[in-house]
Amino acid sequence: MKALFSAILVSLCVSTYAQQTKTIGSPVDYINPLMGTDSKPDLSNGNTYPAIALPWGMNTWTPQTGKMGDGWQYTYAADKIRGFKQTHQPSPWMNDYGQFVIMPVTGRLRFDQDDRASWFSHKSETAKPYYYSVYLADADVTTEITPTERAAQFRFTFPKSDSSFVVVDAFNKASYIKILPKEQKIIGYSTRYARGKMTNFKNYFVIYLDKPFTLAKAWHDKTLAHDSLEITSAHSGAVIGFKTTKGEKVHLKVASSFVSFEQAELNLKRELANDNFDATCQKAKAVWNKTLSRINVEGGSIDQTRTFYSCMYRMLFFPNKLYELDAQNKIIHYSPYNGKIMPGYLFGGTGFWDTFRALYPFLNLVYPSINKEMQEGLINDYKEGGWLPEWSSPGYADIMVGNNSASVVAEAYLKGLRGYDINTLYDALVHGANNEGPISAVGRYGVKYYNELGYVPYDVKINENAARTLEYAYDDFAIYQLGKALGKPQSETDIYKKRSQNYRNLFDPSTGLMRGKNKDGSFQTPFNPFKWGDAFTEGNSWHYSWGVFHDIQGLINLMGGKQKFVSKLDSVFTMPPVFDDSYYGGVIHEIREMQIANMGQYAHGNQPIQHMIYLYNYAGEPWKTQYWARETMNRMYKATPDGYCGDEDNGQTSAWYVFSAMGFYPVCPASDQYVLGAPLFKKLTLTLENGKQVVINAPANSAQNRYVQTFNVNGKTYSPNWLSHQALMKGAVINVGMGAMPNKTRGTQDKDFPFSLSEKN
């Protein structure tokens, strides 16, 4: 009977398995939010958590299996849940901010995270983007959650008990709680955050229950307070109790704000209104389906379809909204830079080192209006903090390398976004390109050396110097492109055009690879191209040597021509996965993920080499791109808990899959081109924001037929190995003939190759 009862609890807004497998019109039902959750610090299969939220929502909910403060807040191998957490965590390595937990308990009053934890099973867990349900065995309670952008509804189904409780944990590092029994309400705030330095930071929350309290206690640390229902302490919480009958449902409405308690109340009233749980759930499902339906895929296997939409789901969370609407419907935000409440948009939770490559290009193609908001948010980052963030969580985080905000800003404008202050953003790029920031991860660390010598030297105690040089060179290209588009003086833009060639300064003809260079102009010695870190970032020379996104032809020339270039590309897959981990003093998870993938030195689980597969198109052998793209999609992705081959990284690794399944990839985001691979599905329909459609037909597609035989755009034979963004925005019908053997005549001429700055000139 209990199994039947649990099944009935699963709301009508959750589709059945039969619907999942048959209904292409409801893409959200294909998604597995548990994809990538079977991870741990030394081996990442995604390092994700089930995110129960709306696209780009300010708040996300997740079951918490890890201890308070553990970045691995939900891991598939865990068997206990400690609570249901409001989270803003972009990745376990970045950890969280503004979090709090809600947890039902029965029997003995328990509020400590270990005492209140309950056994659970994935067999009694339902995870959807818009709905989560799980049976907590120790409490004999079923928990259900459904979200809005800044609020959520909970539904607890209790057993018969005279000792049923709801615990609220506002976490440590200073928090506040207050219980108002007459209003059946709990308020509080959390000040905990993991990165950067913020003033006046609070995540204010309000919780309403639909059942009167017969018991109310505040607590701090592990002590119940007997004389007050209001506590400010290092670690504050609340517990309320009541009697329940068997199967009794207790509902909670929850909302939060980074602005104030009053704003949290406003967010709750605006987003939940008088809706019951099922109404909120239905609305959340509708939002997901509307958002996902921009891309409709047909003719793939059920596993391919699930993987596609599960990846797409992961792409639509970060960066998340940090802005709110005040009582006058004006857009406001808490500023992590000055601690004040400021007007306008703000977003957080993304690292441009990861996401400039494919996530932002995807937004510019499919969801440009949300990226317009993000660009306006970047203006506020710059005005309030003096710099553009390279990793925002939610303010400046001192992690990773590069100045890749240049790509994110330039690409958006170059691909058609308008209606915001692009000149201020251009000023921000120029400022960031010519100055060191207050931390190494904003501006350009080592910029004096870079601008004077043309590279960041290996021997001046600046870590990962070769990676910085290569990324700065591409970022200079992005600034050059934007400056040209804005009509800036040629004398100004030529500076960045010239600097975009600085990658040449690190090319070592003796090895045919990029290599750290000393201040005196000599190359670093000894040099091991398999050494991770050191001159490079989370990779080795074999990974970073391809990082010349804007000038692959220039790289081909350095390597000795197309034949040698292709041979070097081939060798990435045929070499053994050897490595030197001495820089780190041990095997970091990215190294292990490359080692076990059985793809040689190709480390798809990390970002620096993910575009490499598409470079065969620049040297006249596009069929090798087609082979390796399909091979990587088949082997490295699946909509299962171990479904990624490394950190998912805020939508970037998912974006590689989604673009590749569409049949093209943005090797150089700050250009107009997407480089061709081969589509995964028999048909894909992309509905653009302007109402136009791009239809990609590949009816002969199959597991065996992975090679492009013919390519036809709008009724005409098309030979280039690239597609134009501007052309796609006008709508297109693309017909792709697929076959089991490579077509070694198509796309082999120089005129067919994608953009390179050297070739352009």
Would you place residue 14 in the very low, low, confident or very high pLDDT band (cuts 50, 70, 90)?
Answer: low
Q: What is the pLDDT of residues 604-638, one digit of tens each?
A: 999 999 999 999 999 999 999 999 999 999 999 99
Closest CA to 405 of 356, 346, 337: 356
Would you place residue 15 in the very low, low, confident or very high pLDDT band (cuts 50, 70, 90)?
Answer: very low
- Statement: residue 99 has pLDDT above 70: yes
Would you place residue 761 in the very low, low, confident or very high pLDDT band (cuts 50, 70, 90)?
Answer: very low
Which two tokens mark 381?
């980052």
Distance CA 675, CA 660 (A): 10
- Statement: residue 173 has pLDDT above 80: yes
Q: Are 108 and 90 in contact (CB under 8 A)?
A: no
Residue 455: the pLDDT is 98
Would you place residue 7 in the very low, low, confident or very high pLDDT band (cuts 50, 70, 90)?
Answer: very low
Would you place residue 3 in the very low, low, confident or very high pLDDT band (cuts 50, 70, 90)?
Answer: very low
Mean pLDDT of all residues in the chain?
96
Distance CA 119, CA 44 (A): 24
Q: Are 167 and 111 in contact (CB under 8 A)?
A: yes
Query: DSSP assignment of 265-312, as one string?
Result: HHHHHHHHTT--HHHHHHHHHHHHHHHHTTEEEESS-HHHHHHHHHHH
pTM summary value: 0.96
My answer on whether omega of the bond before 526 falls inside 30° of 0, hence cis, is yes
Torsion of CA 707, 708, 709, 714, to 10 degrees: 160
In a 3-state reduction of DSSP, which class is residue 141?
A: strand
DSSP class of 439: S
Q: Are 99 and 192 in contact (CB under 8 A)?
A: yes
Q: What is the pLDDT of residues 355-411, one digit of tens each?
A: 999 999 999 999 999 999 999 999 999 999 999 999 999 999 999 999 999 999 999
- Statement: residue 28 has pLDDT above 50: yes
Torsion of CA 713, 718, 721, 723, to 10 degrees: -30
Residue 759: the pLDDT is 82
Q: What is the pLDDT of residues 569-611, one digit of tens each?
A: 999 999 999 999 999 999 999 999 999 999 999 999 999 999 9
Q: Is the Cα torsion angle 713, 716, 718, 722 positive or negative in sign?
A: negative
Q: What is the pLDDT of residues 181-199, one digit of tens each?
A: 999 999 999 999 999 999 9
Scan for tokens 């959200």, then name that residue: 28
Q: In the chain, what is the greatest distance between 2 CA atoms, to the nearest angstrom?
A: 83
- Statement: residue 274 has pLDDT above 90: yes
DSSP element (H, E) containing 143: strand 141-147
Distance CA 492, CA 280 (A): 53
Q: What is the pLDDT of residues 437-468, one digit of tens each?
A: 999 999 999 999 999 999 999 999 999 999 99
Q: Are 314 and 362 in contact (CB under 8 A)?
A: no
- Statement: residue 23 has pLDDT above 80: no
Q: What is the pLDDT of residues 521-541, one digit of tens each?
A: 999 999 999 999 999 999 999
Which two tokens mark 721?
């190995």
In this predicted model, which residue has the larger pLDDT, 24 or 577? Answer: 577
Q: What's the residue count for the chain?
A: 761
Torsion of CA 353, 358, 364, 370, to 10 degrees: -60
My answer on whether omega of the bond before 394 falls inside 30° of 0, hence cis, is yes
Residue 487, Ramachandran bin (φ over 0: left; ψ between -120 and 50: alpha; else beta): left
My answer on whether omega of the bond before 319 falls inside 30° of 0, hence cis, is yes
Burial of 527 (0-12, 13-18, 19+ CB in 10 A): middle
- How far is Cα of residue 370 from the mean position of the Cα atoms in its chain? 15
Mean of pLDDT values over 479-503: 98
Closest CA to 64 of 31, 103, 38, 93: 103
Topology of the domain comprising 48-293: Beta-galactosidase; Chain A, domain 5 (2.70.98)
Residue 20: the pLDDT is 33
- How far is Cα of residue 453 from the mean position of the Cα atoms in its chain? 35
Residues 6+ away with beta carbon under 8 Å from 29: 15, 19, 20, 23, 128
Which residues in 554-607 belong to E strands, given as ranges?
Answer: none
- Statement: residue 690 has pLDDT above 70: yes
Which two tokens mark 413?
């404008």
